[in-house]
Amino acid sequence: MFISRNNSVATWNQNQLPTVRCSTKEKAEKMHCELEENCKCDASETTMHCTCKDINMMEIFRNIDHVLPKTTPVWQLRSKPNTEIIAISNWATSCEIAISIDEIDEAVMVRDIDECSINHINTTGCYNCDTNVETLIECKSNEQQIIGDIDCESEKFAVQCSPEGTKSTIKFFATRANFQRKCQISCGSTKNKFEINTNLDFHGSFLEEAWKVISGKTKYYDSSILPDIQHIYIYIY
């Protein structure tokens, strides 16, 4: 769930209900809402003492862990000025399409068969970080514009290919400084192999992670920020 304030959008715990509840957006703009307080009251002769739990809405928008944009190795959440929320997947997704046909007279199968190749331009990024690894590639096909399927071991992508060459960026998540991927691309029955091999930077910070724990932004220490020992050894020797 999400909450918005002007042009800012933040994530909201769906198990936590707000104190002020409005049934529609129009009623919220006119403040025709209901107040549902979470209070515990104790009677004391002629008076009543109540303790109410208040939700600090502004504190949520000050917390970078809740405010959009949010980025993970798998997906990204962003918002536009009109509070429209956009979800972006860093991985290729697949779908299944089922078609039911009744009383068909003739069926013709048309299949694009072409050959395409990949030119690896450069790879940038860091390991164990939110920005991920970005690889810029150029896909060329022999005859026409076509979609190329890239298979990089556990990651799969779909990119545009053309005779003059079309550039695309594919993203990975790495946990080691020496980043290697053996991939192949196919635009039909023919598959061409290519490799990605580079050394990545380390942008993690022990102090930064410790500060998150101390300030209460997280209860767990993230061991993934530890630098690659092999990376340290290469720089020393």
User: Phi and psi (nearest 5°) for 223?
Assistant: -75, -10
Residue whose C-alpha is closest to residue 222's, from 131, 133, 129, 132:
129
- pLDDT, residue 204, reads 56
Q: Where are the alpha helices (H) located in 30-176, listed in sequence order? A: 57-62
Q: Tell whether omega for the bond before 69 is within 30 degrees of 0, i.e. cis.
A: yes
Q: How many CA atoms lie within 13 A of 106 on its CB side?
A: 1
User: What's the mean pLDDT in 144-153?
Assistant: 87
Position 140 scores a pLDDT of 92
Contact 119, 141 (CB under 8 A): no
Condensed to tens digits (0 to 9), the pLDDT of residues 51-83 reads 887 777 778 777 777 888 777 656 778 787 766
Could you report the per-residue pLDDT of 98-124, keeping only the tens digit for each? 777 777 777 777 666 778 899 988 998
> Residue 136: pLDDT band by 50, 70, 90 thresholds?
very high
Torsion of CA 109, 162, 198, 129, to 10 degrees: -80
* pTM, rounded to two decimals: 0.46
Residue in the structure block whose two tokens are 């590639």: 137
pLDDT at 223: 44
Q: Say yes or no to pLDDT of 209 above 90.
A: no
Domains and CATH numbers, the chain: 2-21+31-89 (no CATH), 109-237 (2.60.40.3770)
- Residue 220's pLDDT is what? 40
